[in-house]
Amino acid sequence: MTDVAGDAYDLVIIGAGPTGLFAAYYAGFRGLSMAVVDSLPEPGGQVTAMYPEKMIYDVGGFAEVRGRDLVDGLVKQAAPWEPKYLLGRKAEKLESVGEGVELTLDGGDTLRAGAVLITAGIGEFTPRPLPAGDGWLGRGMVHFVPSLQAHAGQHVVVVGGGDSAFDWILALHPVAASVTLVHRRAKFRAAESIVRQARELGVRIITDAEVTRFVEAADGSLEAVDVAIKGAGDERLPANAVVAALGFTADLGPIESWGLEIDHRAIAVDSTMATARERVYAAGDVAAYPGKVKLIATGFGEAATAVNNIAVALDPEAHLFPGHSSNAE
């Protein structure tokens, strides 16, 4: 465990997704020292955990950008200001101390800061389980696909009917030996356009069906899965990997007990991104205000707004508008 007890910063950012990473860059640009805390073991938040290989089309300046590449770029952008990354650590308790705050992490370590910026996205998310895959997680079953090449030449079965399931189908199709979708209903939650793409690629789509059993090979690896198809009996599909894309549940965890105004698992903020608690700000998907549109691009703007207002809160003589970064030498 990293020894962080007693460490002090101008700003602690809770959440290392795109919004938090851009906030780290902007804090450095404003001359603030900062630490970035995230319960996940890698930076990138949902992008890294859920769709690192997916192309993103709504980030300004990019006709398209792969999730992993966007995260790498954001980490590189913040790097000159040497943010302290505390990954795989959970923020448990927040207390006001003097003119600042003290954040307690799991394990009891504490961080002191002039302010906190919460960029926790949807909070802690837990994938919905696939009952037949009990005991197979990491042995042939995954919820997300960190690397497409790990499945090159494999027979892959994707379970689910939402956008994520079809995203994985389309991403895996060029590299896998075969890709099959199994969905328990006849209708899909996914956008019609990506369902059509999958069908046009010739992907086999089995509906009104459930995976009932994982079949183990002699060496302990996954060899196949048994599928019960309504009205057609059982079928065994070759499967070296199963992607259980069944969605997830999410909650804000300890953040909900920090004396903030919570609305539908989001934190109410004003136009400066300040919360109901002094020296505590929020930005990105976790922040709520009338007319909010949840986009990565929105989070970038909110991060800049929050950090500039934090800079003034920490030093009332500082200018709210820092000038354009293009003017910096």
Give tens-digit pLDDT for 23-62: 999 999 999 999 999 988 889 988 887 777 778 989 999 9
Inter-residue contact 20 to 40 (CB < 8 Å) = no
pLDDT digits (tens, 9 = 90+) for 101-132: 999 999 899 999 999 999 999 877 778 899 99
Q: Above 70 in pLDDT, residue 1? A: no
CA distance 48 to 2: 23
Half-sphere exposure of 76 (CA within 13 A, CB side): 6
Residue 326, pLDDT score: 62
Closest CA to 114 of 93, 104, 103, 99: 99
Percentage of the chain modeled with pLDDT above 70: 96
pLDDT digits (tens, 9 = 90+) for 253-290: 899 999 999 988 899 999 999 999 999 999 999 999 99
Helix boundaries (H) for 177-246? 192-200
| 3 state SS of 184 | coil
- In this prediction the pTM is 0.78
Q: Above 90 in pLDDT, residue 328? A: no
